[in-house]
Amino acid sequence: MQFLKKNSILLIIMLYSFASYSQDADETNRFNHQDTLRGSYSLGRMKWNVLYYDITVIPDINAKRISGKNTITFFDSGTNTIQIDLQQPMEMDSIIEDQQQCFFQREGDVYWVKTIKVSQPRLKKITCYFHGKPQEAINPPWDGGWIWKVDKNNNPWISVACQNLGASAWYPCKDTQSDEPDEGCTLNIIVPDSLNGLGNGRLTVKEKLPNKLSMYTWKVNAPINNYNIVPYIGKYEHFSEIYKGLKGDLNMDYWVLDYNIIKAKKQFKDATRMMKAFEYWFGPYPFYEDGYKLIEAPHLGMEHQSAIAYGNKYTNGYLGRDLSNTGWGLKWDFIIVHESGHEWFGNNITTSDIADMWVHEGFTNYSETLFTEYYYGKNAANEYIRGLRNDISNDIPLIGNYGVNKEGSGDMYNKGGNLIHTIRQIINNDQQFRSILIGLNKTFYHAVVTTQEVENYISEKSGIDFSKLFDQYLRTTKIPVLEYYFGNNELHYRWSNTIENFKMPIKYCLGKDKKECWLTPENKWQLKKMEDKTSLKKMQVNQNFYIETKEIKKTIRNN
């Protein structure tokens, strides 16, 4: 099927929600009506398409409370009851359309709103006024909410991390990845004038207000995921540079706590290194119109579009640790590289359901490998991605439950990256592989997609049917096992621990001969005659294929 633009009505999600191998009766029974309201494209989300958010937020720092409004511009194609999400304990004060009060009723974390009925499709605006004490994140970014901290000089240092929790934890919106505001958003942040209020996109206005307050107005021109829209509040210093990129001059801005500016100017050199490598592998940075920012955050990091949250303590690796245990991960700053990689996979290409979040995390995980390859060579990259396998648990499938706001296994990072690395080995043409990565970002530019569309694109452009491979690695926890044995000058081999009709080629060598050959095992036993008896030794499979091997003993060869 054709990819789905941001302004599409994604009715297909309801049908597709039953397609995953990962859903069974026990899993489905764990979810309730609120999960369905949050995760599905139900009646309250149909027939209206979000075009723009205009959000104003006023934090009460001492009370850890906020108030504000969100004016939602949308295209109404024939509904007068819409679902607006705002999670408890936040409260909706009123909803105004054309200077009239809209009737609304709460159901848990959802408000059912009656809007003015239209005789024909047209643009509409509603303004939602809200207030409350939003959920506070205790261990951000892994649990969501507002983050109320102070810096080492006791100045307020505040932000939000709400990817899994959802943006409706603090502002009213259509809280689904399937409908981003096509024309972007405005974020107005009202703070004490001793502090900075930073947001996504570009600063358009800084206005002095009464009572020693200032309002910072940030405008985003591109479509943006709800959870990516965040304020950063603190005592910041700013520096910047112009990057000469594939689409011309790109503003790269850096906002850090005032006492960290010297460290930041040294550490943030990885930002331009990242940009150069990723524009090579993925194509142009997707948000030239909104610029690129790194903002020091009171948590580890997050891929907030055009305003990446940075909290890696100005160290290489992941808080000073190499996740691959190979040494290569200490050559660069993990948060700068990984979170920026999401600008291409996650922010540019966005999945309509978070059950498909492996697309975001698997490709972004592999961006770390590609960054390593760009600067340190292919052998280094291969070592890095293989090193990440040690943290794969294979607990549940990578694809989660559709329609209930449930992502799959945390293996979506390392296993997802190794899946892509395995696909690259099978394609066996780095120029073609790179063109597929670039093509994904061009074809699905600022688009909402399903995993099936990504899978189909890779198969089509490579000329290889990867459907069984995707089913195996995404929808089961089984890692293919290549079983083999030698007999009568023959190599006997097959795949086990796989789905039915699994067929995947691999590179291998035998004995002392280091020349690699291709083998295409299936589920049934096959044989290959060997002319050289000295080759009848243990098989060595190319380690870049994410599989296991097992030499079969004589007693079980006929099974």
How large is the average pLDDT for residues 321-332? 98
Model confidence over 58-100: pLDDT tens digits?
A: 999 999 999 999 999 999 999 989 999 999 999 999 999 999 9
8 A C-beta contact, residue 402 and residue 16: yes
What percentage of residues in the chain have a pLDDT greater than 90?
A: 88
8 A C-beta contact, residue 126 and residue 53: no
Position of tokens 């290489």?
A: 316
> From CA 543, how far away is CA 95, in angstroms rounded?
59
Kindly list the distances between the CA atom of residue 114 and the CA atoms of 53, 83, 100, in Å, as whole numbers in the listed order: 19, 9, 11
**Which amino acid makes up residue 443?**
T
> From CA 417, how far away is CA 364, in angstroms rounded?
8
Kindly report the three-state secondary structure assignment for every residue of 337-374: HHHHHCCCECCCEEECCHHHCHHHHHHHHHHHHHHHHH
Lowest-pLDDT range of 264-278, 356-370, 420-434, 501-515:
501-515
How large is the average pLDDT for residues 129-151? 97
Position of tokens 């091997």?
A: 549
Class of domain 4-341: mainly beta
Grade residue 3 by pLDDT with cuts at 50, 70 and 90.
very low
Give the closest residue to 297 by CA, choosing from 317, 315, 316, 313. 313
Judged against a pLDDT cut of 90, whether residue 554 lies above it is answered with no
DSSP per-residue string spanning 275-291: HHHHHHHH-S-TTGGG-
Judged against a pLDDT cut of 60, whether residue 15 lies above it is answered with no
Looking at the chain, which residues constitute the CATH 2.60.40.1730 domain(s)?
A: 4-341
Grade residue 515 by pLDDT with cuts at 50, 70 and 90.
confident
Lowest-pLDDT range of 23-37, 331-345, 387-401, 515-529:
23-37
> From CA 554, how far away is CA 524, in angstroms rounded?
17
**Which amino acid makes up residue 210?**
P
The tokens of 124 are what? Answer: 């509409």
Supply the mean pLDDT for the chain.
93
Which CATH number is 481-556 given?
2.60.40
Long-range CB pairs of 190-193 (<8 Å, 24+ gap) are 190/56, 190/57, 190/58, 190/59, 190/214, 190/215, 191/59, 191/216, 191/233, 192/61, 192/156
**Which amino acid makes up residue 229?**
I
Judged against a pLDDT cut of 50, whether residue 17 lies above it is answered with no
Kindly list the distances between the CA atom of residue 437 and the CA atoms of 197, 283, 300, 323, 445, in Å, as whole numbers in the listed order: 35, 8, 27, 24, 12
> From CA 416, how far away is CA 398, in angstroms rounded?
8
Judged against a pLDDT cut of 80, whether residue 136 lies above it is answered with yes
pLDDT at residue 193, as a whole number? 97
Model confidence over 173-212: pLDDT tens digits?
A: 999 999 999 999 999 999 999 999 999 999 999 999 999 9
> From CA 402, how far away is CA 408, in angstroms rounded?
10
Q: Are strands 48-60 and 185-192 parallel, antiparallel or unpaired?
A: parallel
Model confidence over 242-278: pLDDT tens digits?
A: 999 999 999 999 999 999 999 999 999 999 999 999 9
pLDDT at residue 246, as a whole number? 98
110 or 533, higher pLDDT:
110
8 A C-beta contact, residue 543 and residue 385: no
The C-alpha angle 198, 331, 362, rounded to 5 degrees, equals 70
The tokens of 189 are what? Answer: 């942040």
Strand ordering across the sheet containing 517-519: 517-519, 506-510, 539-541
Q: How far apart are the first and last CA of the chain?
A: 42
8 A C-beta contact, residue 336 and residue 294: yes
